[in-house]
Amino acid sequence: MCELLGMSANVPTDICFSFAGLMARGGRTGPHKDGWGVAMYRHGQVWSIHDPRPSADSDMADVISKTSLKCEVVISHIRQANVGEVCLPNTHPFSRQLWGKTWSYAHNGQLEKSETLSLTQFIPVGTTDSERSFCWLLESLSNEFGDVMPEGEVLSEALCRLAHHLKSMGVFNMMLSEGEFLFCYCSTKLHWITRRAPFKKATLSDEDITINFSEVTTDKDVVTVIATQPLTTNETWQQMQEGEFIAFRSGEVLYNSRNVL
């Protein structure tokens, strides 16, 4: 299985601390050595970096872990290959254009019979079930809503329904964003934590790194981090339930399927 990392914040925030923990799991403290990637959004524009090498050995990953590229939304992924060879086209996050926005997507899991997902508009570049499911999601949204992106809650309801369908095909943990929202769906494992004032210290599980967030934030900052497994040892993370869908915006929960009657 792969591992996911996401961030949603109300102010531009760097991902260095959390990414350093994820990076170590990509071939050193974890088996996810088959490539890594990251998509970082600021004001709706995205930086995307992909590398089929293990993140623990990647000079590019080392730069990301030490460079303060402040963003509002981040999606990152370290891969343990199941379907598709280890190569650049099969490295997450994948991206496509829809409604004038660049969408980024990362998936953890394996889907059976993904070739049955019908596609006409969005065609995969690589050979993974993950990319095909991403293309199917966007094509389904385009078919349902046409040329106009719906409001966040309506979009969340549609994505939750589509995610349930993909979950019926296997393991489907995913993150999806167009720069404003961060959509997360849990099939087996996803955890999240929201940090806000009063900020405290945090220590990574996979690296000997501690940060005092009160020294690098203001009392108005709200930063939510989502990961396959908790990244720190001295914080309380919330575990998502099987089949739970959460949409974050500016670090806050916009939509949670558990709260929908």
Tokens encoding 211? 């940060």
> Whose CA is closest to 82, among 116, 111, 118, 123?
111
Write the Ramachandran bin of 204: left for phi over 0, alpha for psi from -120 to 50, otherwise beta: beta
Which residue in 2, 16, 71, 184 is the catalytic one?
2
Q: Which H helix or E strand runs over 74?
A: strand 71-78
Least Cα distance to 229 among 12, 14, 31, 37 occurs for 31
Q: Enter the tokens of residue 207.
A: 């690296």
C-alpha dist (Å) from residue 71 to 12, 44, 87, 256: 4, 9, 27, 23
- Our answer to whether residue 2 is catalytic in this structure is yes
Which residues are catalytically annotated?
Answer: 2
